[in-house]
């Protein structure tokens, strides 16, 4: 989603103050709904035993299984993003967000299982969640206060994203672990993504794209949470 200024509404940066404020309010309200929906889906998975079934299925596939899951997730992410920027139907936009939340919930299951049952710290998930939300709030506050346009970060994130994907695929194929150094780098990457996406909310998205804006922010928050939880879970 590179061009967010379309015929379907005006760019938030060019909109009237009241319209811009309404767009921002809708975006962050929907982001909060997405986070709670993610938590609700995970709670359902774990309370019904579905989580252990999903984790067992993914773990049994080994490296190939993870590559398949990664490929499916990338495909679903692409489809979700396309739906979220639909200019013909707001229902399709919400379907895109819902599909992405479900996909994230499934992908997170193995990590959450490992954290919940094998990390040795029953509160590790909550701790990682609090730290993630705290970092997100701080980065968001920075962008809103400074009003800085971080669009220049796009090529850095693009190159960094491909590099990270390459390391992840290589680790799955060749069987080496990426470790906490990689996790800390990815936390920095996720933080940079939050700066960029928050800037996009203020300067690039149009006022009818609150669903797409919420989806991109949710994706960045989920990435941040993934690697913070990975770091916390590895500390015994």
Backbone region of residue 149 per phi and psi (left: phi > 0; alpha: psi in -120 to 50; beta: other values): beta
Domains contained in the chain, number? 1
Full residue range of the structural domain in which residue 37 is found: 17-233
Q: What's the DSSP call for residue 120?
A: S
* Residue 93: per-residue pLDDT: 93
Does some domain include residue 220? yes
Does some domain include residue 144? yes
Q: Express each pLDDT in 197-221 by its tens digit.
A: 998 888 788 888 899 999 999 999 9
* Residue 13: per-residue pLDDT: 66
Does some domain include residue 82? yes
The whole-angstrom distance between residue 68's C-alpha and the CA centroid of its chain comes to 19
Nearest CA among 59, 61, 63, 60 for reference residue 176: 63
Does some domain include residue 145? yes
Does some domain include residue 114? yes
Does some domain include residue 11? no
What average pLDDT values come out for the chain (236 residues) when binned by 10 residues? 44 72 91 96 94 89 80 90 85 94 94 86 90 93 84 87 85 76 90 91 84 94 94 78
Does some domain include residue 12? no
Does some domain include residue 1? no
* Residue 8: per-residue pLDDT: 46
| CB-based burial, 56-83: b 16+ in 10 Å, e otherwise | eebeeeeeeebeebeeeeeebbeebbeb
């Amino acid at each position: 989603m590179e061009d967010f200024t379309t015929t379907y509404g005006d760019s938030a940066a060019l909109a009237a103050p009241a319209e811009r404020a309404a767009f921002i309010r809708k975006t962050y309200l929907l982001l909060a709904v997405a986070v709670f929906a993610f938590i609700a889906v995970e709670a359902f998975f774990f309370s019904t035993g579905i989580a252990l079934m999903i984790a067992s299925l993914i773990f049994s596939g080994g490296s190939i299984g993870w590559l398949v899951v990664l490929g499916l997730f990338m495909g679903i992410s692409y489809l979700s993003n396309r739906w979220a920027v639909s200019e013909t139907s707001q229902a399709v936009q919400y379907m895109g967000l819902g599909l992405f939340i479900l996909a994230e919930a499934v992908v997170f299951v193995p990590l959450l299982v490992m954290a919940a049952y094998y990390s040795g710290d029953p509160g590790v998930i909550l701790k990682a969640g609090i730290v993630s939300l705290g970092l997100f709030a701080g980065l968001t506050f920075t962008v809103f206060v400074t009003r800085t346009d971080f669009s220049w970060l796009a090529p850095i994130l693009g190159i960094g994203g491909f590099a990270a994907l390459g390391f992840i695929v290589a680790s799955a194929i060749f069987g080496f672990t990426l470790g906490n150094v990689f996790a800390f780098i990815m936390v920095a990457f996720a933080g940079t993504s939050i700066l960029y996406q928050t800037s996009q909310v203020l300067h690039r998205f149009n006022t009818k794209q609150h669903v797409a804006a919420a989806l991109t922010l949710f994706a960045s928050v989920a990435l941040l949470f993934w690697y913070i939880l990975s770091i916390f879970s590895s500390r015994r």
